[in-house]
Amino acid sequence: MRAGRPRTLASLTFALALVAGSAGIASAEAPAPPETGATKSDNITHLASAPMSGPLANGINTDIAFAGRLAYVGNYSGFAIYDIGDPADPRLVSQVSCPGSQNDISISNGLLFLSTDSSRSDNSCQSVAQSATIKESWEGIKIFDVKDPANPRYVAAVETHCGSHTHTLIPAKSKRELYIYNSSYSPNAAYPDCQPPNDLIDIIKVPVEHPEDAAVVASPVLFPDGGFPGSPTGRATSGCHDITAFPARDIAAAACMGDGILLDISKPERPKVLDRVQDAANFSFWHGATFNHNGTKVVFMDELGGGSGAECSAEVGPNKGATAVFDLDHKKFVFRSYFKIPRHQAAGENCVSHNGSLIPARGRDIMVQAWYQGGFSVWDFTDSAHPTEIGYFDRPPIEPADFGGYWSAYYYNGAIYGTESVKAFDVFRIDDSRTDPAKRVKLDELNVQTQPASK
């Protein structure tokens, strides 16, 4: 995992297993009818489910990126591309077999970026698991050309420190380059290329016209004091889990295990820490962040239990495994409240605060958020101190008890899209006077971790 190590074309194996959409495949993968037995609010309509299939059928659906009428869905086994021109009838265009936990995904101008956070034998899509104690093992970012979505083409790979759990796109002002803020954590003294304390992030520079020249250009230390030292209930900081950028204000919010931080990203290769917050009493693992519509608030998610625990119970309570709301006052965090779904889940249902996105309803701060087997929630934090739920969808528990539920739930161009981890790519509609103005907002592209200002 030697970050930025030069590679010749001969040293990269670009072959990949591609299953392209066709009339036959589209027919075979037609969306299933909405699942029965779910509970939901009256303002939510379940439009469609596109079941996992082919080489991705036994994987785990993860994150989603959007461009035009296409949705790009990450999966531990690769990624899939869906045509969502008709949200009620998502159609598989193609899928790529390329195993590599967890395949966090983003899209920009026909380039697709995929995170590999499991130690592999090489950087190809045919790699196998290989111990991180071996110097030659590989983890990092894979880059695909998806200008022809029916035929994705693997064009480059960049190795990073400690792999790539998630990543965030930062557009350069010139638009000739694209920066990637790479997040990874859990170093180990036995790993040659992922040594403690791992108090940094890797920054990759991608020449848009020549993505094959992408390379790590900086690895700034964000926690010179070592970060949160850990507590009986909270993980010590040894890297960042996820970063959300708000380019319109040159800021980013980073969720870094035991710390939440605010970054100045006006100079993308030299981010500067503006403020930092910790919550030893209630937060176990700072997992992700979302800004409000004008970048004056941040909500941070706590992934108590790592996503596999049943954390939505009366015993756990309303402030743990929840989402925390902060106002930004002169670029300083001011804590205001916690939000957690008000429905207690069964003992076998993994449930905790997870990935969500803002619903761009002008004049209000509303987001949709996944809670694994807790389903997803639509909630309003316009009043930072008193967030309220305004809609939800919750499937029945998986029987027998097992991992599942919504990994991500995002709003894009009039619909809500969810990755049901072990089942399907789902589509919903919300009809509510508070969110209806968002239906007029049409985006050309959406990577939720590169958050646009509301129009």
pLDDT tens track for 166-204: 999 999 998 899 999 999 999 999 999 999 999 999 999
pLDDT of residue 413 exceeding 80:
yes
> Mean pLDDT throughout 336-353?
97
pLDDT band (50, 70, 90) for residue 24: very low
Q: What is the domain-level CATH number for residue 394?
A: 2.130.10.10
Output the pLDDT for position 9: 34
Output the pLDDT for position 26: 37
95-127: per-residue pLDDT in tens? Answer: 999 999 999 999 999 999 999 999 999 999 999
CB 215, CB 158: distance < 8 Å: yes
What domain count does the chain have? 1
| Domain assignment present for 455 | no
In a 3-state reduction of DSSP, which class is residue 178?
A: strand
pLDDT of residue 28 exceeding 50:
no
| Domain assignment present for 1 | no
pLDDT of residue 21 exceeding 60:
no
pTM for the predicted model, two decimal places:
0.94
Q: Which residues 6+ apart lie within 8 Å of 275 measured at CB? A: 261, 262, 331, 332, 333
69-99: per-residue pLDDT in tens? Answer: 999 999 999 999 999 999 999 999 999 999 9
Instruction: Using alpha carbons only, give the angle 329, 331, 334 rounded to the nearest 5 degrees.
Output: 45
Count other Cβ atoms within 10 Å, centred on residue 370: 25
pLDDT band (50, 70, 90) for residue 1: very low
| Domain assignment present for 405 | yes
Distance, CA of 273 to CA of 253 (rounded, Å): 10
Percent of the chain residues topping a pLDDT of 70: 92
pLDDT band (50, 70, 90) for residue 25: very low
Average pLDDT score over the chain = 93
| Domain assignment present for 3 | no
pLDDT band (50, 70, 90) for residue 455: low
Which tokens sit at 387? 């967030």
pLDDT of residue 2 exceeding 50:
no
Output the pLDDT for position 279: 97
> Mean pLDDT throughout 27-55?
81
> Mean pLDDT throughout 333-337?
98
pLDDT band (50, 70, 90) for residue 15: low
Q: Which domain holds residue 322?
A: 9-224+236-446
Q: Which residues 6+ apart lie within 8 Å of 103 measured at CB? A: 62, 63, 74, 75, 76, 77, 78, 79, 114, 115, 116
pLDDT band (50, 70, 90) for residue 339: very high
Output the pLDDT for position 7: 38
pLDDT band (50, 70, 90) for residue 31: low
In a 3-state reduction of DSSP, which class is residue 363?
A: coil
pLDDT of residue 33 exceeding 60:
no
pLDDT of residue 387 exceeding 70:
yes
pLDDT of residue 206 exceeding 90:
yes
> Mean pLDDT throughout 378-407?
97
pLDDT of residue 434 exceeding 80:
yes
pLDDT of residue 259 exceeding 50:
yes
pLDDT of residue 245 exceeding 50:
yes
Percent of the chain residues topping a pLDDT of 90: 91
Buried b (16+ CB within 10 A) or exposed e, 289-309: bbbbbebebbbbbbbbbebeb
